[in-house]
Amino acid sequence: MKRVAVPLLAGALLAATLTTPAHAATATSANVTIAWADDSFSVVRVTWDDDGAQPNRVVQYQDGKPVTNGVTLVAADQPNQLDLPASLVDVRRVTQIGVSAGGDEAAPVTMSPSFDTDLPAPAELVSSAISGTSTLTASWKAGTPKPDTTPGDPLDRPATAVFQAEADGVEVSPKGPGTAVTVTGRTSTFRLSVSTFNEWGTTTTALVEAGTSSPSLSAPGISTYGYLFNLFGTFAGNGARPVILQARNTPTSPWYVVGTRTFSGGQYLFSLQNSAPRQYRVQVPNTAGGQFVWFGGYSPVVTSKVQLNVNLGIPYPTIKRGGYGTMTLTVYPLAALTAVLQRWNGTTWTTVGPVKADAGTAYGYVRHPVPGKYSYRYYVPATVYRGATYLAAYSQTAVLTVT
Q: What is the DSSP string of 342-362?
A: EEE-SSSEEEEEEEEEBTTEE
Cα separation, 338 vs 112, in Å, equals 105
Cα separation, 110 vs 98, in Å, equals 5
Is 5 within a domain? no
The predicted-structure confidence for 108-161, as pLDDT tens digits, reads as follows 999 999 999 999 999 999 999 999 989 999 999 999 988 888 999 999 988 788
The predicted-structure confidence for 22-31, as pLDDT tens digits, reads as follows 444 456 789 9
Is 76 within a domain? yes
Is 75 within a domain? yes
Residue 341 CB contacts under 8 Å (≥ 6 apart), including other chains: 327, 329, 351, 352, 353, 354, 355, 364, 366, 376, 377, 378
Q: How far apart are the first and last CA of the chain?
A: 133
- Give the chain's domain count: 4
183 and 87 housed in the same domain: no
Stretch 62-91: mean pLDDT, rounded? 88
255 and 228 housed in the same domain: yes
Residue 256 pLDDT more than 90?
yes
300 and 313 housed in the same domain: no
Ramachandran bin of 126, using left for φ above 0, alpha for ψ from -120 to 50, beta for the remaining angles: alpha
185 and 241 housed in the same domain: no
Residue 92 pLDDT more than 60?
yes
- DSSP letters spanning 152-164: T-TT------EEE
Is 233 within a domain? yes
Residue 1 pLDDT more than 50?
no
Residue 346 CB contacts under 8 Å (≥ 6 apart), including other chains: none
340 and 375 housed in the same domain: yes
Q: Are the beta carbons of 379 and 364 closer than 8 angstroms?
A: no
91 and 164 housed in the same domain: no
pLDDT recorded at residue 23: 42
Helix, strand or coil for residue 115? strand
The predicted-structure confidence for 226-252, as pLDDT tens digits, reads as follows 999 999 999 998 789 999 999 999 999
Stretch 318-342: mean pLDDT, rounded? 96
Cα separation, 206 vs 250, in Å, equals 46
Q: What is the largest CA-CA distance in the chain?
A: 141
* Type and span of the H or E element at 210: strand 201-212
* Type and span of the H or E element at 95: strand 94-101
Q: Name the domain boundary from 212, 241, 268.
A: 212
Is 142 within a domain? yes
102 and 138 housed in the same domain: no
Stretch 302-316: mean pLDDT, rounded? 95
The CATH number for 51's domain is 2.60.40.10
Show the CA angle centred on residue 302, arms to residues 301 and 306, nearest 5°. Answer: 150
Residue 166 pLDDT more than 80?
yes
318 and 396 housed in the same domain: yes
Show the CA angle centred on residue 240, arms to residues 235 and 245, nearest 5°. Answer: 55
pTM above 0.75, yes or no: no
> Which of 157, 165, 174, 168 minimizes the C-alpha distance to 116?
157
pLDDT recorded at residue 26: 55
CA atoms within 13 A on the CB side of 50: 31
Stretch 301-312: mean pLDDT, rounded? 96
Range name among 85-89, 206-210, 369-373 with the lowest pLDDT average:
85-89
Cα separation, 7 vs 75, in Å, equals 12
Residue 199 pLDDT more than 70?
yes
What phi and psi, each to the nearest 5 degrees, are found at residue 44?
A: -95, 125
The residue length of the chain stands at: 403
> Which of 265, 262, 216, 217 minimizes the C-alpha distance to 237?
265
Show the CA angle centred on residue 195, arms to residues 189 and 199, nearest 5°. Answer: 170
pLDDT recorded at residue 4: 39
Residue 402 pLDDT more than 50?
yes
The predicted-structure confidence for 332-373, as pLDDT tens digits, reads as follows 999 999 999 999 999 999 999 999 999 999 999 999 999 999
Q: Are the beta carbons of 180 and 208 closer than 8 angstroms?
A: no
Q: Name the domain boundary from 277, 306, 335.
A: 306
Cα separation, 212 vs 142, in Å, equals 29
Residue 12 pLDDT more than 70?
no
pLDDT recorded at residue 107: 87
pLDDT recorded at residue 27: 62
Mean pLDDT across the chain, nearest whole number? 89
Confidence band, pLDDT 50/70/90 cuts, at residue 377:
very high
Cα separation, 111 vs 290, in Å, equals 48
301 and 321 housed in the same domain: no
Residue 13 pLDDT more than 70?
no
Is 128 within a domain? yes
- SS3 of the chain: helix, strand, coil, percent, to 5: 5, 55, 45
Q: Are the beta carbons of 149 and 183 closer than 8 angstroms?
A: no
Residue 97 pLDDT more than 80?
yes
> For residue 84, which amino acid is it?
L
Residue 19 pLDDT more than 60?
no
143 and 107 housed in the same domain: no
Helix, strand or coil for residue 123? coil
Helix, strand or coil for residue 80? coil
Sign of CA dihedral 175, 180, 185, 186: positive
280 and 345 housed in the same domain: no
The CATH number for 343's domain is 2.60.40.1930
Is 262 within a domain? yes
Q: Are the beta carbons of 284 and 243 closer than 8 angstroms?
A: yes
Residue 88 pLDDT more than 90?
no
What is the extent of the structural domain holding 148? Answer: 124-212
Q: Which of 4-8, 83-87, 136-140, 198-202 has the highest mean pLDDT?
A: 136-140
> Which of 395, 394, 402 minimizes the C-alpha distance to 368?
402
Residues above pLDDT 90, as percent of the chain: 74
Q: Name the domain boundary from 276, 306, 336.
A: 306
60 and 148 housed in the same domain: no
Is 2 within a domain? no
pLDDT recorded at residue 94: 87
